[in-house]
Chains A and B, each alone.
Chain A
Amino acid sequence: MKGTMLLALVLALAAPAWAQRADQPLPGPALGSPPDASLPPSVPDSPAKPELIVDLSSPRVSITSAFQGESLLLFGMFDPPGEIVVVVQGPAARETVLRKERFLGLWLNTGRMRFDDVPAYYFIAASAPLQRLLARTGGGEILSLEDRLSTIRPVRLRTPAQMAEFRQGLVEVKRREDLYPANFGQVTIQAGRLFRADLPFPSRLPEGVYDVRTYLLRDGKIVTAVSRPLPVGKVGFSAELAGWATAEGPVYGLGAIVMALVLGWLGGAVVRRL
């Protein structure tokens, strides 16, 4: 009710300006634009009473020596009515997209473009068809993959056509590795107030702190959102080895050499006895 009144107020204030310049779009949060300070925040800072409670089946994704990808269960409860949208985003980094072309009959990388701020992983799940939800909300801070990727910038400026091609290539590769799952996930709502969703993580998963954000939408607006950091990292033996390899390359290299020498020596000696 309060929200509707505020919106009406904003519209009333904006109406004269709108009348003067008819080509200007309606004020309001555009898809992917930074939040407008004059508007109330889409996500209340501290709801008086939690309307949305979210938890994950595991506080982290552990990449062990037996890791083959994992599916986490996200579950929670909300004050009905409403719809739930979950956006999982991997840490942003610079990615290099390479493109092969035929050269003298052989396929080799001839083109490359680097993009900044590319999420390692991007997954959206929703309790209703997302297109419909987004059309009604106008998006706000919930971005479809296309909208999220429209904000990434190439390190060196290129023509829009080239950028679009390479951005498409980036999505292709990420899709292939299941890092940008092609299908939207399903959030199932039970008993009107309980919800659950499966978050699929593939085996070749970049490390870092992922952001799992759950939104409660009501009448096309974000009522509240809960953000949970999800650390993804190697643990145990593989973590130790990888950490060692990056932090102490010389020690790791010597260790690898010693391992090979000992095994080769022993192996040779044992086999000759047989």
Chain B
Amino acid sequence: MEIYLPIAEQSMNVFVLFGLGGAAGLLAGMFGVGGGFLATPLLIFVGIPPAVAVASQANQVIANSISSLQVQWRRGNVDLRMGLVLLLGGMIGSSAGVSVFTWLKAIGQIDFVIAVMYVILLSSIGLLMAFESVRTLWKRRRNPTAPRGKLHTHYLVHRLPWKMRFYKSKLYISAFLPIGLGFAIGILSAILGVGGGFVLVPAMIYILGMPTTVVIGTSNFQILFVAANVTFLQAVTNGTVDVVLALLLILGGVVGAPIGSRVAARLPGVVLRALMAVLVLGVATELLFELLRTPASPYSLGPREVLQ
């Protein structure tokens, strides 16, 4: 069954899009990340223009994060103070990111930049995760009861000025850290259409040193507002948010997420991470291959300008 996407201006199979949303939801349920970083490249593979894929995916991220935030908020797993400071950076970053996006689109390089950023991001995350799971498996075999290390180590970044106390996270750190982190994630969010949880969560644990209990809730809090900001700005400046596309992705995600969390409950964490690493590296390789392969035709068209 085909459906016409009014902003992408093409028809597409409903079940393909629903399935894509479902796959992203499945990942979200399995690994606790948004799944946007896989859904956007897949949308591009099936032929959605990258600019529309990114903007519509940002719209889908809103649904994903509110549904996760619902639970985390009730359990009291959101560090509101940290969330707001992150959000300050996130809002600036995502607004700047949308401007960069608009500029790249105008000079005809947006597709290339999206692909390259995805290759870099996905391959580094994939390799890190693969390395991590191999190391864990190795360690477990040799020393099953390794002692736990310090809560968090102190680096140079912890000496920055304008320190703030974050009670829920049990931290006393410079506000520049979360602002900077939020800024970086905001840019990623705007250009790649992802929530950025898969970068934000490890960064909150390893760079900020936040306790893992509040990380998911707090990151979802920041992602919700940043994704809403990106959706709004993309709709206003680029007009690339396709709500029909986003609707199908959201519906797919609603079905996929609980299946994912049920699967995740039955598999050990290491296996999950290894699976995820393989998946992420696969998508990165395919994207890289697309960039390296000689195109069938070197020509493409930019946007049509109807002169009044």
Contact = CB atoms under 8 A, between A and B. Distances in A.
A250 B109 CA distance: 26
B300 A242 contact: no
Contact of B109 (A105, A109, A204, A237): A109
A234 B62 contact: no
Given A172-B297, A263-B251, A108 B112 contact: yes
Interface string A164-179: 0010011011101000
Nearest to A246: B239
Bin the interface of chain A by size: 35 or more
A252 interface: yes
A255 B228 contact: no
Contacts of A166: 299
A204 B47 CA distance: 12
A106 B292 contact: yes
Interface string A182-225: 00000000000000000000011010100000000000000000
Bin the interface of chain B by size: 35 or more
B272 interface: no
Contact of A264 (B3, B62, B299): B62
A119 to B, nearest CB: 11
A212 B112 CA distance: 38
B60 interface: yes
A259 interface: yes
A95 interface: yes
Contacts of A254: 232
A2 interface: no
7 contacts: A100-B295, A107-B298, A108-B291, A237-B6, A238-B6, A241-B6, A268-B67
The 8 residue pairs across chains A and B that have the minimum distance between CB atoms = A268-B67, A264-B63, A253-B235, A96-B302, A169-B299, A267-B254, A260-B62, A238-B6
Interface of B: 2-4, 6-7, 9-11, 59-60, 62-68, 70-71, 108-109, 111-112, 116, 228, 231-237, 239, 241, 243-244, 246-247, 250-251, 253-254, 257-258, 291-295, 297-307
Given A65-B3, A260-B246, 20 more contacts: A65-B244, A93-B304, A97-B300, A100-B298, A107-B291, A107-B294, A172-B299, A206-B304, A241-B243, A242-B7, A245-B241, A250-B235, A252-B241, A252-B243, A253-B235, A265-B70, A267-B253, A268-B68, A268-B254, A270-B254
